[in-house]
């Protein structure tokens, strides 16, 4: 879907998270999604939970993203898809949010999006 968006002649992108940007944002988002999936594949193969995978993860170029605990929720989603769930299938939200709070040092989640 994001690959298809790259074909549009947009010059301004207004994302759901972050500031207004240009079309280069699509490549940045695609890079992050690939990073999440590659992390999930390797971590799942190593027997790590999404929370443990996030704890061991070097976010590298994504370390400065707002709300870094979202990596945990994204890994929960990626694990579900690796298990064969179609994109958009409901995941265990309580487990994902609990792990996100744990990753966030027990602090309530914020949303700076």
* pLDDT-based confidence at residue 113 (cuts at 50, 70, 90): low
Print the SS3 string covering 55-98.
HHCCCHHHCCCCCCCHHHHHHHHHHHHHCCCCCCCCCCHHHHHH
pLDDT digits (tens, 9 = 90+) for 10-52: 899 998 878 899 999 999 999 999 999 999 999 999 999 999 9
Mean pLDDT confidence for 97-112: 93
- Domains of the chain, by residue range, sit at 2-103
C-beta of residue 97 within 8 angstroms of C-beta of residue 109: yes
* 91 to 15, 50, 80, 81: CA distances (angstroms): 23, 13, 7, 10
C-beta of residue 68 within 8 angstroms of C-beta of residue 54: no
pLDDT digits (tens, 9 = 90+) for 50-98: 999 999 999 999 999 889 999 999 999 999 999 999 999 999 999 999 9
């Amino acid at each position: 879907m994001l690959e298809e968006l790259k074909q549009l002649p947009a010059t301004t992108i207004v994302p759901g998270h972050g500031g207004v940007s240009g079309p280069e944002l699509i490549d940045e988002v695609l890079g992050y999604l690939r990073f999440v999936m590659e992390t999930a594949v390797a971590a799942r193969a190593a027997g790590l939970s999404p929370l443990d995978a996030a704890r061991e993860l070097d976010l590298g170029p994504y370390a400065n993203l707002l709300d870094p605990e979202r990596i945990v929720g994204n890994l929960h989603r990626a694990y579900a898809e690796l298990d064969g769930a179609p994109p958009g299938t409901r995941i265990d939200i309580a487990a994902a949010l609990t792990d996100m709070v744990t990753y966030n040092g027990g602090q309530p989640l914020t949303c700076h999006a």
